[in-house]
Amino acid sequence: MNTPVITQQHTDGRSYSQVTHQTPSRQTSGRPNKRPRAGSSSTDNSASFKSTYQEHPDSGNIPQNTNENDEKIKKWNWDLVNDFKNNISQERKDMIFESLNQISSDNIDQLKVDTIFEDVCYIMIDSARNTFGIFKLKKRKKVKPVDKPWFDEECRFARQNYRKLKRNISTKSSVQQKQNLRLTVKTYKKILNKKI
């Protein structure tokens, strides 16, 4: 059996070879209306790539989180499509194609798929960053109310009770509920005056 070698050429003139091995397809039963299972080939000439996977030498340099919290890539602009294509790193693209050619269905695992996926994401994000630019997100400072040094747990608890009763009072509240609210307000004010 001859092993076909497919030679392809990159856009910059370099060529690379790809070796494929023929594997026989699965035989189906005699029923004519049986559909092939998902993932199975419907033709007799299915090819699989037989080789080993090698780690990218540059894969350790890929940042884990390329989209930082304080910067964001600007929106897609259709006028810059050609610039986006030209900014895609040819070296990284070649490494990804080489890795894909070296993976076979027998030795694939999640780590290899994740590594290649991260490489592809990095190429696209890097090209978009160089083409469209980035902008910094405006951070809003959270205004945290600073309590006075004398405002302690007792004051906080009294304020909590007062606000809880005030929320529960409605227009149809009873006389007893209104009296409870007045007493709570007096207690709250008394505690605050004592602490000040």
pLDDT tens for each residue of the chain, 196 residues long: 444 445 444 444 554 444 444 444 444 444 444 444 544 444 444 333 333 334 444 444 444 444 456 789 999 999 999 999 999 988 988 998 888 888 877 778 889 889 999 999 999 999 999 999 998 888 777 767 767 888 888 999 999 999 999 888 877 788 898 899 999 999 999 999 998 8
Alpha-carbon 166 to chain mean position: 44
Residue 146 lies in a domain: no
* Within a domain: 144: no
In a domain, 143, yes or no: no
Asked whether residue 162 is assigned to any structural domain, the reply reads: yes
Model pTM score: 0.38
Where in the sequence is the domain holding 182, given as residue range(s)? Answer: 153-195
Least Cα distance to 87 among 56, 126, 118, 117 occurs for: 126
162 and 120 both lie in a single domain: no
**Does 148 map to a domain?**
no
Structural domain tally of the chain?
2
Domain assignment present for residue 62? The answer is yes
In a domain, residue 37? The reply is no
10 and 98, same domain (yes or no)? yes
| pLDDT digits 0-9 by tens, 8-20 | 444 445 544 444 4
